[in-house]
Amino acid sequence: GDEPAEKPDPRSTPIDAPAGLRPAPPPPAASLRNRGDRACSSAMRQRQEWVGDWVRSNDTLVRALPILVGGASLLAVLLNRAVSGIAAVSDASSSQSRADILTLALSVTDILAGLVWLSIRPKTISPVVPRGVDCKPVDADVSSSALRELLWTWDSLTAATCCKSLVVVYGGNCKLQIGVAAASPEDGNAVNVDAQKFMQGSLYKSAMESKKQSYLANLALYPGRTELPFLPANTQALILQPIGDKGIAVIGGDTIRGFTNLDQAWIGMIADKLDATLSKS
């Protein structure tokens, strides 16, 4: 009689099986290694963040740690000297005495380092409230599209940086003065920007000749601040950003060194955008 057909092995998958029923191929070894590397780096990053947080929250203890280590080492040497029965007077021919002298020197160095760490602390820099009045004068010749661009620039700077004052001088005219301005001693109103006088100053000429952004991180240290009577007297930081070949943006901040490197690069790109807009208006 006919032999019974051989039954297919249920563990094997036919070649023409639907794609959804085919077993997934095992992940390659490189993928597994990448997952392991990512997991390892994530764990190391979390550990570093934990250590950093602990050090910040225990700043005084960390600064005093060398004093504690040096004092403990100094006490251990003295106790060892007293308990071991070695003469209190050091002997240059004794190896124990030479080791004790080196240990004492290292202990004193640790104590001095701890004292230095405790005496030198980073100064906390906080924002200040600009002394002046709010203003928003706009040049009458500015088109509606250019005005929208200028106001967008102001909103972006105030939202993302420490900017509190913005002055845009372009084509020999002040296109926009917005934010906090210096108050006039006569009537208390905002001091308007004299574009022609400002353009004759060294700050403007230096920035336009170099065609590079000028960042005055601590404005109080620069004598050229007298060329900026329209800014609040307590403006902490200043950026002079050329806008093409025809203008400049004066950006005042409320924090010393408040503009980061990313802020400066971003402001440079905004200036290119403003130049393209203002040149058409």
Angle at 28 between CA 22 and CA 34, to 5 degrees: 135
Q: Is the pLDDT of residue 8 over 80?
A: no
Average confidence (pLDDT) over 97-112: 86
pLDDT at 264: 96
Give the Cα separation of 281 and 266 in Å (integer): 23
Per-position DSSP letters for 241-260, written without gaps between them: EEETTTEEEEEEESSTT-S-
CB 214, CB 239: distance < 8 Å: yes
Give tens-digit pLDDT for 171-216: 999 999 999 999 998 888 999 999 999 999 999 999 999 999 999 9
Q: Dig out the tokens for 211 from the structure.
A: 């065609």
Coil vs helix vs strand at 242: strand
Q: Which of 8-17, 35-44, 47-56 has the highest mean pLDDT?
A: 47-56
pLDDT at 249: 97
Cα-based distances in Å from 224 to 42, 163, 204 = 48, 19, 10
Domain 133-278: give its CATH superfamily. GAF domain (3.30.450.40)
Q: Is the pLDDT of residue 21 over 70?
A: no
Q: How many helices (H) and strands (E) does the chain have?
A: 7, 6
pLDDT at 206: 93
Structure-model confidence comparison of residues 96 and 223, the more confident one: 223
Q: Is the pLDDT of residue 220 over 60?
A: yes
CB 236, CB 112: distance < 8 Å: no
Q: What is the CA radius of gyration of the chain?
A: 35
The band of 5, judged by pLDDT with boundaries at 50, 70 and 90, is low
Overall pTM surpassing 0.85 (yes/no): no
Q: Is the pLDDT of residue 106 over 80?
A: yes
pLDDT at 228: 95
Q: Dig out the tokens for 240 from the structure.
A: 């002079």
Give tens-digit pLDDT for 137-174: 999 889 999 999 999 999 999 999 999 999 999 999 99
pLDDT at 102: 86
The band of 281, judged by pLDDT with boundaries at 50, 70 and 90, is confident
Place of tokens 């700050």: 203
